[in-house]
Structure 1
């Protein structure tokens, strides 16, 4: 059983040595442990530091591409290196490395294929009250969208089997945490959450520069991912709402028309008709989108088979 711990990095020369030093060298049930960093176009000497502290594999992205791209690149590299389990953690040592065996336990016991570390965001002291509420609310929204119970959807401390990694497609350019959960839920993977500890922050978050930016990016990611994997449900809800709203002015016109006071109420009829027509059109769009989703599933299966072939272990270098 081979475990690769991957760490996306961007200008982490100062924090990386401490993070690597705390990673486990031996874990019960794991035969081989290796570390891999994804240097996301760092302008400092992150790569050199990684070599100095004994990182086994280094993947360098020439130009800074963002966390989602770094995560996706890391998964592909881990698969080519023959990883049976891939564990993702942060370079700033946010997550307590002592909890890695806890994170791996459900997978090693065959009870889960994807495990998310739960930081207890509702009570995390390092988060502001507003951030705690947003994290809690966001996790509930993602849980509903994915059909799961994930108390900490934005946690990057997660472990997965090789099969999950092969079927994971990250399309977002912002972050991978929310999108991949909705995707995993739609594919019916066995997913678990385990409580984990966190370390005091060593630097400000680079992903969340402001609450407004975080909300806008997260909302777009959730809506896009949910619409991609549940198109018929989304468009049926929207179309039904529009038809329902359109019936109100339409029925109002019919009422006044029935009692002989229909003159001057034609605006209600026009508004109702427009909303009902648009509602039915939205339902038809949902049907088309649902048919397209079947084509997406076929493409995902083709991509899975291609990645399965490409990920056959053939070298210890990336």
Structure 2
């Protein structure tokens, strides 16, 4: 399991956090804090927490209500399948990855302790929002590149087709005199859209290769139990990792 180093989460809730995994109801369990009841959170931070969780739910296709929570439990198979590449925070990336990989997730309510020190991950709300948005966008591009670049291509293709339609209309009604600019601009937009769509196809092929490599890595880790201090291989009971 995993918890933050700022002692924010109540350790008495560890059994409840691990229960869905032990019962084989989920492979990843997120401890959901009572955001509305945390006095140390300002109204702006509470709103941003809810907004960020909503964005992650849309990007991952999951129903986790508190995505930024660092109080989590992972099964060994789920941990082997996750590959965190972001150096800022793992919380958002792992949920999006798990959602895209169809890893079963669950959420349980947990309690929080009194704040004893501020977070060291960010210096203010603005930095937190900026870096979290970059993380979500980067992970979404990595795991849904075709959808991302197709959307960018559509943003250019639709105005391009509209410009061609405009030129054809004026060409049919008054010979198109003075409207050649619409045709030139439309051609440029359609060229950009074609390039973006081609980049999306290449990125999708790269994503498929990366997915195969991650599956190979996960299978290798699943077949290789960790070594104990004596050098023999055995399966650990529970490991607690502190982050941040």
- TM-score, scaled relative to structure 1: 0.69
Matched, 1:247 2:180: no
Contact 1:120 1:151 in 2 (8 A): no
Deviations 1:152-202 (A, max 9, x none): 111000001011111121101101001111111111111001111111110
- Which residue number corresponds to residue 262 of structure 1? 176
Larger helix share, 1 or 2: 2
Residue 236 of structure 1 corresponds to which residue in structure 2? 150
**Kept in 2: contact 1:253–1:262 (CA 8 A):** yes
Residue 145 (structure 1) shift = 0.5
Which consecutive unaligned segments of at least 5 residues does structure 1 have? 1-86
TM-superposed deviation, 1:230: 1.1
Q: How does 1:166-177 map to 2 (within 5 A)?
A: 166-177=80-91
Residues 287-311 of structure 1: per-residue CA shift (max 9 Å, x gap): 1111111111122123224434665
Partner of 1:112: 26
What is the deviation of 1:89? 1.0
Q: What's the CA shift for 1:248?
A: 2.3
Q: Which residue of 2 aligns with 1:135?
A: 49
Q: Decide whether the 8 Å contact of 2:6 with 2:119 is kept in 1.
A: no
Specify the alignment match of 2:4 in structure 1. 90
Q: CA RMSD in A?
A: 1.8
Give CA deviations for 1:93-129 in whole Å, capped at 9, x if unaligned. 1001111111111111111110001113245332111
2:115 paired with 1:186: no
Partner of 2:239: none
Structure 2 regions of 5+ residues with no counterpart?
A: 232-244
Is structure 2 residue 118 aligned with structure 1 residue 201? no
In structure 2, the CA distance between the partners of 1:305 and 1:111, relative to structure 1 (3 Å rule), is closer
Matched, 1:162 2:76: yes
Map 1:6-85 → 2, pairs under 5 A: none
| Change over 3 Å in CA distance of 1:202–1:278 after alignment to 2 | same
- 8 Å contact 2:29–2:72 — kept in the other structure? yes
Residue of structure 1 equivalent to 2:241: none
Question: Whole-Å Cα distance in 1 between the matches of residues 147 and 31 of structure 2?
Answer: 30
Change in Cα spacing, 1:315 to 1:308, as seen in structure 2 (3 Å) is farther
Q: Does 1:286 pair with 2:183?
A: no
The answer (yes or no) to whether the contact 1:122–1:136 under 8 Å persists in 2 is no
Distance in 2 separating the partners of 1:123 and 1:276: 51
Alpha-carbon spacing, 1:120–1:275, altered in 2? closer, same or farther (3 Å): farther
Conservation of the 8 A alpha-carbon contact between 1:123 and 1:132: no
Q: CA deviation at 1:253?
A: 1.9
Which residue of structure 2 lines up, in the alignment, with residue 100 of structure 1?
Answer: 14
Task: Tell me: CA distance 1:316–1:255, structure 2 relative to 1, closer, same or farther (3 Å).
Answer: farther
8 Å Cα contact 2:145/2:207 also seen in 1 = yes
2:47 aligns to what SS in structure 1? helix
Specify which of 135, 138, 149 is matched with residue 224 of structure 1.
138
